[in-house]
A and B are shown apart, each in its own frame.
Chain A
């Protein structure tokens, strides 16, 4: 796929320029060489579907997702610090099962990462065929799959579906 290669070349080129932060001729030539090498080696792995870039509303949803994610991350840290500092260790751990309707690899990866950085939850495994995720939860409030799905991933699943599917 030529389109995948071009997208990956531009990304690698820009990333190298950012990393080295200089616009001299020597550095630009090096950036072109590195971009070419990476797009030749990894084009099939990196960009799965290049037509993902077509719908512009994705980017707006992504801009909405980032601050929400950072807020959840800060909440997770305060929550974790509270649990660690409390003398009685208020934890009630367990692995629960939730259902997900996301299908694409990128969407599932982002959902799993978001869950891991959310307060009190961590993804242990994903069963892609059955659409199941196994989540280690520090404070198990319900063992019912549907209730846990709603509590843990409801909000983020809807946003990520709009971004990646």
Chain B
């Protein structure tokens, strides 16, 4: 039973990781690509790790997978924030159809 549930979680995670990579290819600029990759990869990878925990149970591997979820959820958004901020400071332009950029206005 646990093995089937684990497999289901791993497959869901793989599907979301795939969507994240697809977003990385399809979306137009750095910031939109970060959206797709960070959201889908955080939940997708967490889901794969949680599936591994269900599959393995309370063994060293399963517990490490749970701890990895915790660290991933705490650190992945920070990396997205740092990447987008440094891209903006380095002068990477937003997509030309973007609506507004109040960060740029406030920097002047």
Residues on A close to B: CB < 8 A?
15, 18-22, 73-74, 76-77, 80-81, 83-85, 89, 91-97, 109, 112-113, 116-117, 120, 122-125, 132, 134, 136, 138, 140, 143
Contacts and interface: CB of A to CB of B under 8 A. Distances in A.
Contact of A117 (B42, B63, B84, B106): B42
B77 A117 contact: yes
A91 B32 contact: yes
Contact of B80 (A76, A97, A116, A132): A116
Given A96-B102, A122-B80, A116 B60 contact: no
Given A84-B19, A95-B103, A122 B26 contact: no
A11 B34 CA distance: 32
A124 B35 contact: no
Given A77-B40, A84-B26, A93-B95, A124 B32 contact: no
A77 B98 contact: no
Contacts of A85: 19, 22
A46 to B, nearest CB: 13
A90 to B, nearest CB: 11
Binding site secondary structure of chain B: helix
B75 to A, nearest CB: 9
A117 B39 contact: yes
Contact of B77 (A19, A116, A140): A116
B89 to A, nearest CB: 9
B87 to A, nearest CB: 9
A93 B32 contact: yes
Contacts of A20: 60
A19 B63 contact: yes
29 contacts: A18-B67, A19-B63, A74-B43, A80-B20, A80-B36, A80-B40, A81-B16, A81-B19, A84-B23, A84-B27, A84-B36, A89-B28, A93-B97, A94-B94, A95-B31, A97-B102, A97-B103, A113-B77, A113-B78, A116-B39, A117-B39, A122-B81, A122-B84, A123-B77, A125-B103, A134-B102, A134-B103, A134-B106, A138-B35
